[in-house]
Amino acid sequence: MAEYQNTTVSSGEMAQRFIEFVMMQAQNAAFMLGQIPHPQTGKAEVNLDVAQLLIDQLVMIQEKTKGNLNSDESRILAGAISNLQMAFVDAVREEPSNKTEIPAEAAPQVEQKPQEAPGPEQADPDGKKKFVKSYGS
């Protein structure tokens, strides 16, 4: 059985880890706001619901840690929240007013035959089965 090791972490290391955590959450939110392009497609993708969740989590952390952060931690957290909130407002303003309208090139084209049960596989023109996964939008 493995023994439990009690390792002490200095306050400087904890501050660095906290800042890294805040920056990672902020980067994820920026990605969801379309500020960082998708690594595979190179195109910016916007998911306002997830972005709002990540921003709200940072605000919650700010409230829960009030009075327990050093000046650098507080400044970085407040700055990240402020920047993300402004970017969120910009993203909402740029979003089309009608959410049901999807541009033709962005809409997934799925051809379904009436007698086949819908499933995760589609037939390739070569006759091979092709599996596709939808992440929903």
Q: Which of 1-10, 111-120, 125-134 has the highest mean pLDDT?
A: 1-10
Q: Is the pLDDT of residue 103 over 60?
A: no
What's the domain range around 83? 12-97
Give alpha helix (H) positions in 2-136. Answer: 11-32, 48-64, 71-94
Report the alpha-carbon distance of residue 49 to residue 92 in Å, rounded: 11
Tell me if 90 is assigned to some domain. yes
The whole-number average pLDDT for the span 53-63 is 96
Tell me if 132 is assigned to some domain. no
Query: CATH code at 89?
Result: 1.20.58
Q: Is the pLDDT of residue 3 over 80?
A: no
Q: What is the mean pLDDT of the chain?
A: 78
Q: Which of 11-15, 88-92, 101-105 has the highest mean pLDDT?
A: 88-92
